[in-house]
Structure 1
Amino acid sequence: MGLTVLKPGLLTTVQDFGRFGHQRQGVVVGGAMDKIALRIANLLVGNHENAAALELAMQGPALRFEQDQVIALAGADLSASINGEPIRLWRPVLVKAGSILRFGKPTYGNYAYLAVAGSIKVPQVMGSCSTYLRAGMGGLEGRALQKDDTLYFGETSETNKLVLSALLMQAKKETSFTEASWWPEPELLPRYEPNPVLRAMPGLEYSWFSENSREYIWQQKYKLTAQSDRMGYQVQGTALALEEKRELLSTAVTFGTVQVPPHGDPIILMADSQTTGGYPRIAQIITADLPKLAQVQPGGTIQFEEVSLEQAQHCYYQQEKTMLALQQAIHNKLNQV
């Protein structure tokens, strides 16, 4: 038993942190677009942070639970409901067997994460359960979910059982689901914005660009186009140009690299970015702001703010410090039950 896919949604895939250590062979890292939301969803149900979960893009699926299960939703608000009753993000929820989880119109963000106690059970490929669609690798047969698919759950841990016990104490027989009476403090959760300012460092080819372009990248706003996906976000704004025509051999790129093709509109590489690229790199968005970037909807605008390497490292440290605080808060709450 597990869950049955009644409707697949726009793009529903199994994701974890991704595949590391294989880029020299041309294998992309991939993984969740918003890794902070994935981590929090997993912590809320008692999983390891890197457990396989479902990533739901924009238009979520319809899923029927064939057994009682503890779940948590995090990331974008896709107007989730169980048997027609709204459920909230960022908290554990006990769902009874036979209940149907559906999604409606996105309120904010692009990517939501559905974690289940024990994780989504799929084989690991090169150390990861993440789905990489272009290679047909990982997840469920290397593809997005389809109607009538069945997914199974992994074995539950003692922490999973603590979450279940806490929810059973609140559960009522006549209800199809029970939300936890507790949830993380707002300061421990990501802050998404429709038109964010993203902190970035100058890229390795930054000096190749004209003086005007080096000013524009920090001053102008760029609009996210509909031609955006897990591989890259295309943005439009003031065109950027090199000081003089130069050729660049393919060189290393990663999630958050801002490349500039000849037409002058930047492309921001995302979770499924290739391992090397041949366009000049004008900037690199810092790791701490990648979740915020992932949740910008098409039509939203972004602006870049220059920071130093030291500032980027500090932001990452603060983000990880917050995650540790959240993990400890959940641990303390469960041990009070």
Structure 2
Amino acid sequence: MADHLVIHRAGISAVQDLGRFGRSRFGLPVNGALDQFSARAANVLVGNREGDPLVEVAMLDFSCTPSTDVLLAVTGAPADLTVGGVPRPQWEPTAVRAGETVRIAGIRRGARVYLALHGSVEAPSLLGSCAPDTILGFGRSLRDEDELAIGRGIAPIDHPVLRHPVFRLGVPVPPFPEEWTIDVTDGPDIAEFGASAAKLFDAEYTVSPQSNHIGLRMRGDVPQREARGEVLSRGVPVGAVEVPAGEELLVLHRGRGVTAGYPVLAVVTATGLSALGQVRPGQRVRFRKRSVEEAVAAYRAQRNTLRALRKRVSTVFDALRIPTTTPAPATEAL
């Protein structure tokens, strides 16, 4: 029987990757991990490609047991991680013996945790991605007592060094505040709001429980559109801050439809989208205006952080004779 994880408590979890890129022209959303930075970092920490499949756990407790020795990493929101009842750190590679139970409990301040295994996990793929798509009815949401195959062609990993705090890889863990600041750039319709557009950066918004991977609804002092006339349906980017009629903003995320007909006041930056993927219902959000140049610089800095982390991981794994996976080409990793 193939090596596998037995899922004891699934909570709200699914097998994810970075998404289904280049398919918007067919009307398909990109989907994928909502916190892209944490997902990428989890895979890098265990020597995988950044886009390899991993487990995304949302808000509720999760537990599993591997049938073989594995190396894993847990990133994302702060949580209580234990292996065989012993507390272990997040954002570091952790060795787990066959039969030991891995528990992730008490997820707090953020919404999502990512669990990556050295060698990845197996999942069906559609158009180059295993990311769930609710419109197509595709993807693997996990249930209690599911068995998730470990997809690797290498020997099990249980290196004694990884059971002790000898190596600390120094991942710059992003903040998980009680009140979030989300960076945005100007949207295509900002001129239609006149002076009212400034409200977006002065007000505080509360995330509605009616929020999901498609978009977040936020209540607060909503800017008012001054222009008259209808907005024609057109393509909208992930991160579009839409202003429908009413008392809520609608901030589109990775599961959004590719067209919409509401005015777009702003667009969340690439780094801001990962932060937005961690915001819980009931938390407060403020928006911060950034230029396109500032947004690009922040994204490049984040990519450089992951490249530096991969170099440190490769150095440690080479010293311990643990195999790593060759990074994907840049065009695939973006």
Same fold (TM over 0.5): yes
Matched residue, 1:204: 188
**Equivalence map 1:2-13=2 (5 Å):** 2-9=4-11, 11-13=12-14
Deviations 1:209-231 (A, max 9, x none): 2422x110111111112221111
Deviation, structure 1 residue 38: 0.8
Paired residue for 1:145? Answer: 142
* Counterpart pick for 1:185 among 167, 170, 195: 170
Match of 2:159 in 1: 168
Check whether the contact 1:68–1:94 (CA below 8 A) recurs between aligned residues. Answer: yes
Which amino acid is 1:44 matched to?
A: L
Q: Which residue of 2 aligns with 1:28?
A: 29
Question: Shift of the alpha carbon at 1:234?
Answer: 0.9
- Say which structure, 1 or 2, has more relative contact order (CA 8 Å, 6+ apart): 2
Distance 1:313 1:239 in 2: 27
- SS of 2:110's equivalent? strand
Q: TM-score, normalised by structure 2?
A: 0.90
2:93 corresponds to which residue?
A: 92
Q: Distance in 2 between matches of 1:180 and 1:31?
A: 32
Alpha-carbon shift at residue 295 of structure 1 (Å): 1.3
Partner deviation per Cα, 1:115-150 (whole Å, 9 max, x = no partner)? 011111112210011122342113x3xxx1112211
Report the number of matched residues. 318
Rounded to whole Å, the distance in 1 between the matches of 2:128 and 2:168 is 31
The CA distance in 1 between the partners of 2:54 and 2:164, in whole Å, is 19
Please state how far the C-alpha of 1:96 moved relative to its aligned partner: 1.1
Say if 2:88 is the partner of 1:80: no
Contact 1:227 1:234 in 2 (8 A): yes
Counterpart contact for 2:222–2:243, Cα < 8 Å: no
Are residues 12 and 180 of structure 1, via their aligned partners in 2, closer, same or farther at CA, if it must alter by over 3 Å? farther
Gap runs ≥5 in structure 2: 321-334
Alignment of 1:1-337 (within 5 A): 1-9=3-11, 11-138=12-139, 140=140, 144-156=141-153, 164=157, 168-170=159-161, 178=163, 181-186=166-171, 188-212=172-196, 214-337=197-320
**Equivalent residue of 2:99, what SS?**
coil
CA distance in 2, matches of 1:33, 1:179: 31
SS in 1 for 2:82: strand
- Structure 1 distance, partners of 2:316, 2:70, is 20
Q: Percent identity?
A: 29
Amino acid corresponding to residue 145 of structure 1 in structure 2:
L
Q: Distance in 1 between matches of 2:57 and 2:79?
A: 9
Question: Equivalents in 1 of 2:318, 2:65: separation in Å?
Answer: 31
**Separation of aligned partners in 2, 1:42 and 1:179:** 20
CA distance in 1, matches of 2:221, 2:135: 31
Structure 1, gaps ≥5 residues long = 172-177
In 2 relative to 1, CA 182–107 (structure 1 residues): closer, same or farther, beyond 3 Å? Answer: farther
SS of equivalent residue, structure 2 residue 130: coil
The 3-state SS of whatever aligns with 1:268 is strand
Alignment match, 1:175: none
Output the aligned Cα RMSD.
1.8
Instruction: Answer whether contact 1:193 1:292 (CA < 8 A) is retained.
Output: no
Distance 1:48 1:180 in 2: 24
CA–CA distance in structure 1, aligned partners of residues 273 and 210 of structure 2: 19
